[in-house]
Amino acid sequence: MTEARKVGYADVAGAYRQQIRDGELRPGDALPTVNAVAEEHGVARNTAARAFALLKSEGLIVTRAGAGTVVAEPPHVISGTDRLDRLNRTGRKYADGEEVTGRRVMRRSCVDPRICRELDIEPGEEVIVRIRTFRQDGKPTTVGLSVIHTRATADVPEVAGEEGMPRFWQELYRERTGREVTRGERTATARQASQDELDALEIDAPQHVAVAVLVTHVTFHDETGPIEHWEDVYAPGTEIPA
C-alpha cells in the first residue's frame, strides 16, 4: 500500500493562495490563527507558521495590530487565463469587487501579423474582436482582447453580438459541437501601448511619450485548428502571477 504523502508548509500555503486568487478571501479578510490552521490541515504548528511566512513573503497576507493576520491588498493582477481557471474551479465569472466596463464587439479585417499567424488566417481576413476593461474595486487593471475565428459564429452566433454573454462562449461551443477547446501556452511580451489602451487604463501620458505595457498572449484550439486568441494588456508596473 502506498503511504499517503505528508502535508507540508507549501501545501498549506497553496490552499490559502488559491482562495485569495479565486476571491474567496478578499483584502482585509481575517485568516485563522496559526493554531487553527495547524489543526485544520493536520500539521505541526511550526509548519502552519512557515506557510504563513511564505504567504507574507509573497505579499499576499499581512499582520495588523488588533486584527491578526489578514489578506493584503492584492499585489498581483490575474490574467484572463487565471480568470478562466477560477471560473472552472468555482463557477464564478467575477471575483468580489471585480467588474467589466467598456465592452465592445466588432467585425474587423485582421492585419496584425502575430494574430494572423496564431489563428492561421491570411492578412485581411475577417475576425470577431471582443474588447473589455477589467476593474478591481473601481480601478482598471487590464484591457482584455479576444480575437475569435469567424468559423465559431456558425455554432455560436451570439459571440458576434454586442450584448454581454451570460456564459463563456467556449462552453456553448463545446455543448453545441461536441468539440473540446484546449488552451495553448501563455507567453508575454512588452510593447508600446496604443492610445485606446492608455485611455482604458486611465493612464495620462503626453502623446509624444511612449508608454511600455506588458501583454500576455494565449491561443485556444479545437480539433479543426486555432479558434481564439487572447491578449491581456497590463498597466506599467503591474505584477502578474507566473
Tell me: the pLDDT tens digits for 64-108? 887 789 998 766 677 888 888 888 888 888 877 888 999 999 999
User: If you average pLDDT over residues 107-136, what whole number do you get?
Assistant: 95
pLDDT at 209: 84
CB 241 within 8 A of CB 78: yes
β-bridge mates for residue 107, sequence order: 128
The highest-level CATH class for domain 9-71 is: mainly alpha
CB burial class (10 A; 0-12, 13-18, 19+) of residue 160?
middle
Would the pTM of this model clear 0.85, i.e. be above it? no
Return residue ranges of the chain for CATH 3.40.1410.10: 80-234
The distance from CA 181 to its chain's CA centroid, rounded to whole angstroms, is 18
- Which CATH number applies to 80-234? 3.40.1410.10
Q: How far apart, in Å, are the Cα atoms of 74 and each of 17, 183, 223, 229?
A: 11, 26, 38, 27
CB 20 within 8 A of CB 71: yes
